[in-house]
């Protein structure tokens, strides 16, 4: 019973990845938009995009960490 | 459980552990003994394992018991205090359990790779200052970085036309002042020089520690919450001290931007204070979660590839290429993540430092 509930909880924790997926998609779509408008800023905006990607990805990893916590620690 | 019983159990296990060549035999002996001596119930009580009594004589089961014993030992400091004389046996059992899991191939959880075990056991009173595998890998990276810097800067600091190694070191060295200038420059341009060395060291720390974990059989130091949290907390405390040094009590004004209507103030102060304090956690969690998640997923996928390879089925044998290539791609991704995390953590330190030194004077993006 507890094991099953744990698995369900860990699975439910990964729903948060939907948000991270939207975020990452948003970062790169904005990058393409801005580079299409002003190609001369491509290099600078790519740096910012990678930074934004890393920050968004880190948020996604919080969800993963919760899943690990639920399934291994408790 | 009383101490004599534990002692007896350890003695018994140790006797059998010293004959690893007759593997299937001693497993049964240990089991029979456990049952005869009524140790099973006590062990069951100790490990809180409910299915222990009515189970088969098999290696995976015994391995599980060993593993649980090791985990219990690792989990409670109490264990060290109550059974100080059994530490040798415990070490032996831990080693045995690890060996068995390796022999089993795909066994073990993906978090197994992060386990810390002492290489040289050191103990003063009841405190353990063991030289562990993280310490070893930290020393290793430190040595590599120092060697790299030493060979490049010997004979009066390199040549005017750099070779490949010198270019690498110069690249790393020149990389840091850039974000520092961008973020902390502020209105008074002098700040950057002061903090540049500290940030540079933090950057080099992450830059070399993170990819070093991708070497097979090495240990990722930054995949441990304890280490990244120590790093981020010390940086947070340092930044707060810097803020108070530069601004005195005026530092508190960072929590209230100028020109805010007074009724909004309590909410805004709370809204600024919470993220500020959460930064201490978040930069540590970010590094740790990135490293741990990446390494675990590589382990899970390579475990699946390994299992498929030995299924004695042509279909799976060909299908095995799928996970294998994903592992390959993930390894590349992990190296990228390792380096970009070093970059990201450096930039976020710069942003936090900027908030402390310049308060709200210049507008940069906030995290």
Span B310-322, pLDDT tens digits = 777 788 888 888 8
Q: Are B157 and B219 in a shared domain?
A: yes
**Residue B366 covered by a domain:** no
Chain centroid to CA B155? 37
Q: Is the pLDDT of residue B178 over 50?
A: yes
> What's the pLDDT score for residue B268?
83
> What's the pLDDT score for residue A2?
78
> What's the pLDDT score for residue A38?
93
Q: Are B88 and B153 in a shared domain?
A: no
Q: Are B80 and B141 in a shared domain?
A: no
- What's the pTM? 0.69
Cβ of A64 and B289 within 8 Å?
yes
Distance between B285 CA and the closest CA of chain A, angstroms: 8
Q: Are B167 and B100 in a shared domain?
A: no
ipTM of the complex, rounded to two decimals: 0.71
> What's the pLDDT score for residue B106?
44
From the list B286, B293, B341, the residue facing A64 with the nearest CB is B293
**Domain membership of residue B189 as a residue range:** 137-358
Q: Are B227 and B155 in a shared domain?
A: yes
**Residue B167 covered by a domain:** yes
Q: Are B141 and B85 in a shared domain?
A: no
**Residue B24 covered by a domain:** yes
Cβ of A61 and B344 within 8 Å?
no
Q: Out of B77-81, B124-128, B316-320, pick the least confident.
A: B77-81
Highest mean pLDDT (candidates B58-72, B133-147, B176-190): B133-147
Q: Is the pLDDT of residue B206 over 80?
A: yes
Residues A2-73: name the CATH superfamily.
Answer: F1F0 ATP synthase subunit C (1.20.20.10)
Q: Are B319 and B192 in a shared domain?
A: yes
Domain boundary among B104, B121, B146: B104
The token pair at B26 is 């001693």
> What's the pLDDT score for residue B225?
85
> What's the pLDDT tens digit per position in B292-315?
888 888 888 888 887 777 777 788
Q: Which residue has the higher pLDDT, B78 or B152?
A: B152
**Residue B365 covered by a domain:** no
Q: Are B157 and B96 in a shared domain?
A: no
CB < 8 Å to A24, chain B: none
Domain ranges of chain A: 2-73
Q: Are B248 and B354 in a shared domain?
A: yes
Return d(Cα B329, Cα B298) in angstroms, integer. 10
> What's the pLDDT score for residue A23?
94
Mean per-residue pLDDT, B33-58: 55
Q: What's the mean per-residue pLDDT of chain B?
A: 74
> What's the pLDDT score for residue B305?
82
Q: Are B36 and B150 in a shared domain?
A: no
Number of domains in chain B: 2
Instruction: Name the percent of chain B lying above pLDDT 70.
Output: 64
Q: Which residues contact B205 (CB under 8 A, 6 or more apart)?
A: B231
From the list B111, B289, B347, the residue facing A58 with the nearest CB is B289
> What's the pLDDT score for residue B11?
62
From the list B111, B285, B296, the residue facing A62 with the nearest CB is B285
Per DSSP, the residues of B341-356 read HHHHHHHHHHHHHHHH
Q: Is the pLDDT of residue B222 over 60?
A: yes
Domain boundary among B86, B104, B122: B104
Instruction: Name the percent of chain B lying above pLDDT 90.
Output: 5
Q: Are B148 and B54 in a shared domain?
A: no
The Cβ-side half-sphere exposure at A56, using a 13 Å CA radius, reads 18
Strand segments (E) across chain B: 118-120, 123-124, 127-128, 131-132
Cβ of A51 and B290 within 8 Å?
no
Q: Is the pLDDT of residue A44 over 90?
A: no
Q: Are B234 and B312 in a shared domain?
A: yes
3-state SS, residue B119: strand
What's the pLDDT band for B104 if we cut at 50, 70, 90?
Answer: low
Tell which of A16, A20, A56, A58 to mutate to test the B interface (max B CBs under 10 Å): A58
């Amino acid at each position: 019973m507890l094991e099953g509930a744990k698995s369900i909880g860990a699975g439910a924790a990964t729903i948060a990845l939907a948000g991270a997926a939207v975020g990452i998609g948003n970062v790169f779509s904005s990058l393409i938009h801005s580079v299409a408008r002003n190609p001369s800023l491509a290099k600078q905006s790519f740096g910012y995009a990678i930074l934004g990607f890393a920050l968004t990805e880190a948020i996604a990893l919080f969800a993963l960490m919760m899943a690990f916590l639920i399934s291994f620690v408790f | 459980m009383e101490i004599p019983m534990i002692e007896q159990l350890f003695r018994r296990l140790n006797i059998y552990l010293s004959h690893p060549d007759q593997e299937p035999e001693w497993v049964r002996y240990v089991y029979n003994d456990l049952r005869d001596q009524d140790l099973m119930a006590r062990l069951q009580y100790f490990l809180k394992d409910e299915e222990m009594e009515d189970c088969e004589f098999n290696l995976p089961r015994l391995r599980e018991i060993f593993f649980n014993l090791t985990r219990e030992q690792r989990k409670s400091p109490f264990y060290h205090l109550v059974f100080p004389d059994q530490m040798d046996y415990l070490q032996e059992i831990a080693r045995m359990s690890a060996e068995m899991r390796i022999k089993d191939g795909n066994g073990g959880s993906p978090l197994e790779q992060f386990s810390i075990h002492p290489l040289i056991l050191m103990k003063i009173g009841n405190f353990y200052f063991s030289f562990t595998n993280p310490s070893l890998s930290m020393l290793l990276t430190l040595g590599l970085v120092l060697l790299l810097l030493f060979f490049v800067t010997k004979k009066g600091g390199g040549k005017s036309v750099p070779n490949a190694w010198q270019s690498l070191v110069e690249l790393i060295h020149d990389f840091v002042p850039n974000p520092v200038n961008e973020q902390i420059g502020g209105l008074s341009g002098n700040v950057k020089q002061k903090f540049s060395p500290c940030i540079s060291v933090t950057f080099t720390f992450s830059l070399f520690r993170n990819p070093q974990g991708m070497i097979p059989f090495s240990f990722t130091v930054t995949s441990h919450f304890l280490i990244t949290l120590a790093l981020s907390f010390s940086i947070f405390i340092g930044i707060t001290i810097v803020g108070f040094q530069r601004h005195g009590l005026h530092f508190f004004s960072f929590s209230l931007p100028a020109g805010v209507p007074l009724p909004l103030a309590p909410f805004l102060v709370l809204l600024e204070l919470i993220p500020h304090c959460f930064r201490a956690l978040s930069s540590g969690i970010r590094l740790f979660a990135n490293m741990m998640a990446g390494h675990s997923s590589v382990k899970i996928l390579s475990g699946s590839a390994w299992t498929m390879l030995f299924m004695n089925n042509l279909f799976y044998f060909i299908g095995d290429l799928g996970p294998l290539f994903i592992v390959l791609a993930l390894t590349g991704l992990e190296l990228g993540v390792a380096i970009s995390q070093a970059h990201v953590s450096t930039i976020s330190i710069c942003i936090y430092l900027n908030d402390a030194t310049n308060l709200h004077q210049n507008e940069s993006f906030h995290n």
